[in-house]
Amino acid sequence: MSQALLLKPDSRFVEAIVKSGGGDLKKCYQCATCSVVCELSTETAPFPRKEMIWAQWGLKDRLLSDPDIWRCHQCNDCSIRCPRGARPGDVMAAVRQKSVESHAFPSLLAKAVNQAKFYPLLLVIVPAVLLALALVLRGPIEAILPFEEHGDAFYAGFFPHWLLIGFYSSFTTLSFLGLLVGLAKFWRGMAAADKAQDRAPVLGIVPSIVRIVTSTLVHDRFGKCTDKASRRPAHLLAFYGFNVLFVVTVWATIDLYLMPIVGVDSLYPFDLMHPMKILANVGGVLLIVGCVLAIRDRLGNERQSGFSTSFDWTFVWLLLSVGVTGFITEIFRFIVDPSQTTVLEYAAYTFYFVHLVMVFSLLVYLPYSKFAHIFYRTVALIYGEHSGRTKESGRPELKAAPERKMVASS
């Protein structure tokens, strides 16, 4: 505290936050109503009042290495109660976007992915061209390497599994490496900021992870939001939908390639009544319902749900599109007779291709889009436990108002 900090106000960063949905940021007059009403804010590390003034002054370094911005779930309890209409919840969301963009590696890609003018190029043309290139290269590769197709899956004829897995695993590996670089930068930033303030860790990393994972499974922090309670079920559905699909996809890969190695016959493609298939379909439905609920929330009441930017919309629509095109692709698989070449077959391949493009955009751009919140938030929350931010010391009880006594008259 004694060391004076040389402030470098940055009006460009302020403008960047304003453009990303924090348009009312400058209205804040620091009354701290937000920090008081927030159910997630703790006494040991209250927010979002301090973030509001940091953002007003454009103190970029502070904000980017602040784990507290990720402890906010944008329920907007604060925005609704802000006497000045500064919408701290939306400002926090905008700062999170800036945080993802600045930590991401390479940062140029992050900046491009979040600009609407690059959407056609990055979200459609690039994946489509890459996938087309893969299809073109399929023959030459097969000529050199003896890839063997397992089972007789319908779409495998169009896009063989070895190519699919090879293609996506290489690109996602690249993007995850980028993500790891970003997360490491983020962690170091948080640790350095705490060290500068002589704040020592209070809990080991492993117990911190356990706490956060268990709490995320039930979304209990989300449940503390009072005014916009409907966001929790929507998020839970999408969360479990996505994770179920992720697990069955991994299982399918294992079934296809690893099971035969240990001598178990691959069951792929799964029968409709196969537990994994049932799980996959349930997951798909959960994902779609979750996304639809989330979209409805965002469209319904901006005051409560917060201001939605293209950062939010791109992610939620992409997620929904992946679910929907996935189902369409699956339906085609059952209605198309693979023995005959029909128009339906081409339609099925087209939808499958579209689905693959969507999946590429969702997974490969993960570190640069809103999807990155899964990782940044988790890391920040773990760091929050680690550094003692969530220690509840209990709110002081309000003292009863002093009793008023009338002075005796005659």
Partner 1 sequence: MDKKVAVYICRGCDIGDSLDIDALTSVAQENEAAICREHDCLCGDEGCELIRQDIREGANALVVAACTPRFKTDTFTFDSCRTERVNLREQVVWSHEPNDEDTQMLAEDYMRMGLARAKKVDVPEPFDEEISETILVVGGGVTGLAAAIDAAGAGHEVVIVEKEAQLGGWSSKFAKTFPHKSPYRDVEPVPIEDRIAQVESNDKITVYTGAAIEKISGQPGQFDVKLKANGSNPEFRVGAIVQATGWKPYDASRLEYLGYGKSANVITNIQMEEMISAGEIKRPGDGEQAQRIAFIQCAGSRDQGHLPYCSAVCCRVSIKQALIARDMNPDAEAYVLYKDMRVPGQYEDFYRKAQEDSGIFFTKGDVTGVEVVGDSLQVAAESTLLGENIKLEADLVVLATGLVPNAADGEEIRRFNDAKAVIEKGEAGAQLDAAKVTSEELKHLDGSSILNLDYRQGPDLPQLKYDFADSHFICFPYETRRTGIYTAGCVRMPNDSQASQEDGAGAALKAIQSLRTAKQGQAVHPRWGDQSFPDFALQRCTQCKRCTEECPFGTLNEDVKGTPLLNLTRCRRCGICMGACPERIISFKDYSANIISSMIKAVEIPDELEEKPRLLGLICENDAYPSLDTAGLKRIKHSAYIRFVPVRCLGSVNTVWIADALSGGYDGILLIGCKSGDDYQCHFIKGSELMDKRSENVQEKLTQLALEEERVQLVQLPITDYEKMAQVINEFAEEIEEIGLNPFK
Which residues have CB under 8 Å from 408's CB, separation 6+? none
Asked if residue 407 binds partner 1 (CB under 8 A), the reply is: yes
Which lies closer to partner 1 via its Cβ, residue 9 or residue 300? 9
Asked if residue 18 binds partner 1 (CB under 8 A), the reply is: yes
Measured CA to CA, the distance from residue 306 to residue 323 in angstroms comes to: 25
Asked if residue 7 binds partner 1 (CB under 8 A), the reply is: yes
Report residue 209 as tokens: 């992870």
| Distance in Å, CB of 63 to partner 1, minimum | 12
Cβ burial of 220 (10 Å; 0-12, 13-18, 19+) is exposed
Which lies closer to partner 1 via its Cβ, residue 33 or residue 216? 33
| The residue type at 211 | R
| Distance in Å, CB of 356 to partner 1, minimum | 42
- Segment interacting with partner 1, rule: CB under 8 A, options 21-29, 178-186, 260-268, 368-376: 21-29
Asked if residue 1 binds partner 1 (CB under 8 A), the reply is: yes
Q: How many CB atoms lie within 10 A of CB 353?
A: 20
Which lies closer to partner 1 via its Cβ, residue 6 or residue 262? 6
Asked if residue 335 binds partner 1 (CB under 8 A), the reply is: no
Asked if residue 404 binds partner 1 (CB under 8 A), the reply is: no
Asked if residue 57 binds partner 1 (CB under 8 A), the reply is: yes
Asked if residue 409 binds partner 1 (CB under 8 A), the reply is: yes
End-to-end Cα separation, the chain, in angstroms: 57
Find the binder of partner 1 among 34, 40, 50, 362 (CB under 8 A).
Answer: 50
Report residue 126 as tokens: 């690039």
Cβ burial of 402 (10 Å; 0-12, 13-18, 19+) is exposed
Q: How far is CA 205 from CA 79, 147, 210, 212, 213, in A?
A: 33, 42, 9, 11, 12
Find the binder of partner 1 among 35, 41, 56, 387 (CB under 8 A).
Answer: 56
- The answer to whether 69 and 63 have CB atoms below 8 angstroms apart is yes
Asked if residue 410 binds partner 1 (CB under 8 A), the reply is: yes
Cβ burial of 341 (10 Å; 0-12, 13-18, 19+) is exposed
Which lies closer to partner 1 via its Cβ, residue 17 or residue 287? 17
Which lies closer to partner 1 via its Cβ, residue 261 or residue 408? 408
Measured CA to CA, the distance from residue 41 to residue 31 in angstroms comes to: 15
| Distance in Å, CB of 316 to partner 1, minimum | 28
Asked if residue 27 binds partner 1 (CB under 8 A), the reply is: yes
Interface with partner 1 (CB under 8 A): 1-9, 11, 14-15, 18, 26-30, 50, 53-54, 56-59, 407, 409-410
